[in-house]
Amino acid sequence: MENTAINIEKMTAEIDLMENAAYVIKDGHLTKVTPKQFGEDIIIWQNGKVHDVVRSQRTRINGQDVI
């Protein structure tokens, strides 16, 4: 991750608070969930850990012939 400083020895990460994103930590591994223009992200938990992230995207109908 380009704007994330990770210290493996201390198991810490420093992130840029000016960047819009969500972060998931699972078993000591940091995953950045990047923003999209429209839609939603749903976090699925299993046994107290993040199992999946379900991403959907919304498309506004503005007279397009095809979406």
The pLDDT of residue 37:
87
Report how many domains make up the chain.
1
61, part of any domain: no
Q: By residue range, what is the domain housing residue 16?
A: 5-56
28, part of any domain: yes
10, part of any domain: yes
Confidence of residue 9 (pLDDT cuts 50, 70, 90): confident
- Give the CA diameter of the chain: 55
41 φ/ψ sector (left φ>0, alpha ψ -120 to 50, else beta): beta
Confidence of residue 2 (pLDDT cuts 50, 70, 90): low
The pLDDT of residue 65:
92
47, part of any domain: yes
Amino acid at 22: A
17, part of any domain: yes
pTM: 0.73
14-59 tens-digit pLDDT: 999 999 999 999 999 999 999 988 899 999 999 999 999 999 988 8
